[in-house]
Amino acid sequence: MSKTIAPIIIDQIDALLTDEPHPIANLANAAALLYSEISDLNWAGFYLYDDNADELILGPFQGKVACMHIQNGRGVCGTALKQQSTLRVANVHEFPGHIACDSASNSEIVIPLMVEKQPIGVLDIDSPSLNRFSATDEQVLNDFVATLMKHIDKSVLRALN
């Protein structure tokens, strides 16, 4: 089985979420789709940004139990949020300030979720393999997030923060 993430997941998320505006339902199905369709993962899910506390709060995910609060700027997720850019980390144990929610995770990719240039959370995907995610995977996942965000009712999501 190839480890490259197939671009078909972009069409799959678009079809899956058509006519469903609720953000939590959509994020839950997005996490399940990623976890079931991408090989060699041990966690896929979302953290939602609480701007009052300036931290990420655990959202819908698939995998083992996870950290519930991540401060803005801490770990891979908090750093991606603060920088408002995708972070692809080949070896999380070499990332300064890495937060080990699951000691089995060795590589990670985190993509910020933005609404009108404001962060609302991150997509976080972990793998037990080192250097799991390629530049091609990063592009596919960035496109996945862009498609996902077209299906999110932003007013409902803001109300949840």
Q: CB under 8 Å to 91, separation ≥6 — which residues?
A: 106, 107, 130, 131
Cβ-contact 113, 141 below 8 angstroms? no
pTM: 0.93
Over the stretch 30-85, which tens digit does the pLDDT of each residue have?
Answer: 999 999 999 999 999 999 999 999 999 999 999 999 999 999 999 999 999 999 99
Residue 153 banded pLDDT, cuts 50, 70, 90: low
SS3 119: strand
Tokens of 145: 């997030």
Which amino acid, residue 126? D
What CA–CA distances, in Å, run from 95 to 32, 105, 111, 149?
27, 12, 16, 28
Per-residue pLDDT band at 154 (split at 50, 70, 90): low
